[in-house]
Structure 1
Amino acid sequence: MREMTKLIELGEQKREEVENERKEAVDKIWVLRDIIRDLEYRVEVKAEVEAELKKLVAELEDVIEQQTRAIDESNRQLEECKGDVDVRTLKERIVYLENEAQKLRLNSELAGGEGALKELQSQLNLFESSIDKKTKD
């Protein structure tokens, strides 16, 4: 009977050990399930954040593209303005040179007039000399 009691006690101890191990395993399973749920939640949150960031990146890329086009357009307009300034400057220079040419024409006409005057004066002097000569004779 003692042997039976010992066997029963040993069986009871083993059953208690197995039951304790089972309880520990169940507790570990619950802990692991909580960890898994937490990790799944984190993954879900990260996926949402990633989607929002991708959307933001796309919006920023659109803004950058629009600003780049605006800058290109501004540069094009600036170059056109520079061209306009060059054209205006050239037109002003042409007007100035035309005025200078007109002045030179007037001066040359006056100089030609002076030459004609000198020629006329020399002819008058010759005429006067010839009259003086004729009157003396």
Structure 2
Amino acid sequence: MPSLPPHSRGFAWPRVPSSRRVRRALLVPVLLLAGAGCSLALDTESAQCTADSDCERFGTYPLCQEGVCVASGLGPQGCFRGAASSEEQFLNQCTRADCVPFDNCARLGLCDSSGALPDLVPRPP
């Protein structure tokens, strides 16, 4: 008697899932974990700050304006912020000024190539 194929004898071979189905089945949990990870890593609050002290982690004295930390332009690092009550605090207050180097010799033409300074101007009588 000829042998019949397995499906005609009432027997079904177990179906092996295709690699495409396996990838789809694994993709769903991976996407769910990625979405949860992003929400844990990102700050989803609408306000970044409520006071200037919340912005200190950014350095250079930022200010809190309308819930967002913005650069104040104050410097240099380590300067005194606030109302000065001593001479040291007054001398070290923060400022928005920039320090720009100025080369007197080149700009004013007062120095020669030997590096000697010009003669002093005589005092008026």
TM-score by length of 1: 0.31
More helix, by proportion = 1
More strand, by proportion = 2
Query: In terms of Rg, which structure is larger?
Result: 1
TM-score by length of 2: 0.34
Kindly indicate whether structure 1 or structure 2 has the higher relative contact order, using CA contacts under 8 Å at least 6 residues apart. 2
